[in-house]
Amino acid sequence: MSWSLLFTERYNRRAARFLRRHPEMKQAYRKTLLLLEANPHHPSLRLHPLRGRLQGLHSVSINLNYRISLEEWIEGQTLIPIDIGDHDAVYRA
């Protein structure tokens, strides 16, 4: 079962800024997106729901330091990335 990613203009700007600041993360970022499309529940992504102010969103790990927060639209098998960055930046959004 394959999922699709729906990128917003806002997220694309954030991702471009993130990759300019962290060019060493390009390969890990691409791998994360491919895994999300193939299987968002892959153990290396560490998918988990967020709580509190960010309830309704989920988060996956690019690596131990960087995360992507996303909205899950189960009916359409669609994932919508919301933010990208380090732990504090993503969870502050």
CATH number of the domain at 61, please: 3.30.2310.20
Quick check: 48 and 12 in contact, CB under 8 A?
no
Quick check: 1 and 77 in contact, CB under 8 A?
yes
The number of domains in the chain is 1
Q: What is the pTM of this model?
A: 0.89
Q: What is the mean pLDDT of each run of 10 residues along the chain (93 residues)?
A: 90 97 98 95 94 92 95 81 91 73
Query: CA 47, CA 35: separation in Å to the nearest integer?
Result: 11
Query: CA 42, CA 44: separation in Å to the nearest integer?
Result: 6
pLDDT at position 1, please? 67
pLDDT at position 93, please? 60
pLDDT at position 73, please? 72
- The domain in which residue 44 lies consists of 4-92
